[in-house]
Chains A and B, each alone.
Chain A
Amino acid sequence: MLISNTQEIPGKTVVEFFGVVSGSTVRAKHIGRDIAAGLKNVVGGELRGYTELLAEARGEAIRRMSYQAEEMGANAIVNVRFATSSVAQGAAELFAYGTAVRVE
C-alpha cells in the first residue's frame, strides 16, 4: 500500500478512485505513564510516554485505513490527513483519512 499526503503518488498515475477511507482509534495511557507524565510536567520537557503512545495510535489508525483501502481493491491512498481530538481527560482520538486510489 502506497500512502502519500500529496494529490497524486509521485511518479505514478492514478487510474481509478475508490472514495474516502478512514481509520481511527481512541487511546488512553495507563496510570503508570500518567503519573510519570505528571511528574515530568512539573519541570517541563518532552513527555516521552505520550509521544510513543500517540505514535503507536497513529500507526494503528493508518493500518485500519490501509485495511479498508485494501478491501476496496485499491493499491494506494493519496491526500492523507490527520486529526487529533481529546474526547475525555486523558484520552485522545487519532483519526487518519485519505482517498483510496489505484495507481499504475
Chain B
Amino acid sequence: MVEFSIYLITPVMFLGAWITGTLLERRHFQDLLRLESGAREILAVTIEELPNGWEVQDCDLVIGNVVISQDYFKRIVASIKGIFGGRIGVYEPLLQRARREAVVRMKEQARIHGHDTVINVRIETSALARARSDAKGTAGVEVLAFGTAVTLRAGSRASIGPGGGVLV
C-alpha cells in the first residue's frame, strides 16, 4: 500500500501542479491587465536625455522587483524539450509575466513619490537558484526594473503624446 502510494504521488503532483500553475498564470495575466491600465498615466521610457523643452522639477530612483518560479509540470516539460533544443515555449509567458509585473511595481513607486515619468528604464533578469537537473530545487528568476522617476514641469508633458509607456 505504501509503495503503491509512492507511485501515485508523482503523477498526482504532476497533474496538480499543471492545473494550478496554469490557473495561477491566467489569473496573473488578468491582474496585470488591470494593474497596467491603472499605471498608464505614468510614462516610462528608456531614453536618458529629455528632448529640449522638457523641464524636470525633481527626481528619485525607483525600483520594482519580482521573483517568480515555474510550476513543476512545466519545468519537467522544459527539461525534456531542452534535450532536443529549440524554442522552449513554456518559459516565455513566465518571463513576460515577471517583466510586466516588475515594470508595474516600478511605476507604482513613481506614483507614490508623486512623479509622472520614469526615464532611463533598465530591466535586468537574474536566475536566483538554478533548478537541479531532476527539476527539483527552487528555480526562481528575479526581474528587476529600475529607472529615474521625474516630475516634468506642468505644461511640458503635453508634448509627449497620448498614453505612452514602456512596452515589454
Interface residues of A (CB under 8 A from B): 2-7, 9-11, 34, 37-38, 40-48, 50-51, 54-55, 58, 62, 80, 82, 84-86, 89-90, 92
Contacts and interface: CB of A to CB of B under 8 A. Distances in A.
A50 to B, nearest CB: 4
Contacts of B119: 6, 10
Contact of A47 (B16, B28, B56, B140): B140
The secondary structure that dominates the A interface is: mixed
A9 B59 contact: yes
Given A5-B147, A10-B119, A50-B128, A43 B61 contact: no
Interface string B32-53: 0000000000000000111000
A82 B146 contact: yes
Interface of B: 13, 16-17, 20-21, 24-25, 28, 48-50, 55-61, 63, 65-72, 74, 94, 101, 119-120, 122, 124, 126-129, 138-140, 142, 144, 146-148, 150
Contacts of A37: 69, 138, 140
A11 to B, nearest CB: 4
